[in-house]
Amino acid sequence: MSKHLRFLRTLTFAVALMLVSACGESPVGPSTSEAPDPLLGGLLQPLAPITDPLLEPLAPVTDPVIGLVDGVVQLLTCSSQPYAITSTEIGRAGGTIVVGSHTLVIPRGALQRPVTITAEQMPGRTNSVRFQPEGLRFEKSAALTMSYSNCVELVAPKQIVYTDEGLSILELLKSRDTNRRQTVTAPVDHFSRYAVAW
């Protein structure tokens, strides 16, 4: 081996040793006890473990408004009930109207004079009822109970909604869902069309 080649190898080895000693690091790897180099801004610190959110268990849903899809209440999908209609005269004493699988209870004192009330169970993909005379208002709220036994089974609480004739939801009523009986009840102050939603 020539003198010139030996000199270059020795020089390379010496420069490497100087660099290692100047950095204060051993050739094995960085010391874990030293602070990160301020010039690198701590970029050489160990990275946090990567977690995949799809592999983590799902947190329970805590949103109190269940049944909202993009902020909109959805009508419950049901098998179509047959059309049914009934008419009854109800006065100051109150009374009960049953139409198909749905019931309206009008309390004593809700009406000041006798009124012939017509109730219809409407066929279609949701459970819906219509009461006439339209716009009739009660002095005391009546209680509308609607069945959803023929509807898609959902764990979410069911609600009664006030709709227009196209079944667009106009108002969400404060409802009580009795899941065991598959009925939902809400106070009704006036006559129009109502449907079961979730």
Kindly report, residue by residue over 22-80, the tens digit of the pLDDT.
Answer: 554 444 444 444 444 444 344 344 444 444 333 333 333 323 333 444 455 899 999 99
Q: Torsion angle of alpha carbons 94, 139, 158, 127, nearest 10°? A: 60
Q: Does the pTM exceed 0.75? A: no
Is the Cβ–Cβ distance between 186 and 144 less than 8 Å? Answer: yes
Average pLDDT (103-125) is 97
Q: Looking at residue 197, what is its pLDDT? A: 97
Is the Cβ–Cβ distance between 112 and 142 less than 8 Å? Answer: no
Amino acid at 139: E
Is the Cβ–Cβ distance between 124 and 73 less than 8 Å? Answer: no
Structural fold of domain 68-197: Chondroitinase Ac; Chain A, domain 3 (2.60.220)
Average pLDDT (74-95) is 97
Would you state the structure tokens that stand for residue 184, as one six-digit string? 């939902």
Q: Does 131 or 12 have the greater pLDDT score?
A: 131
Say how many Å lie between the first and final Cα of the chain, rounded. Answer: 89
Three-point CA angle 120, 122, 127, nearest 5°: 115
Query: pLDDT band for position 135 (50/70/90)?
Result: confident
Amino acid at 184: V
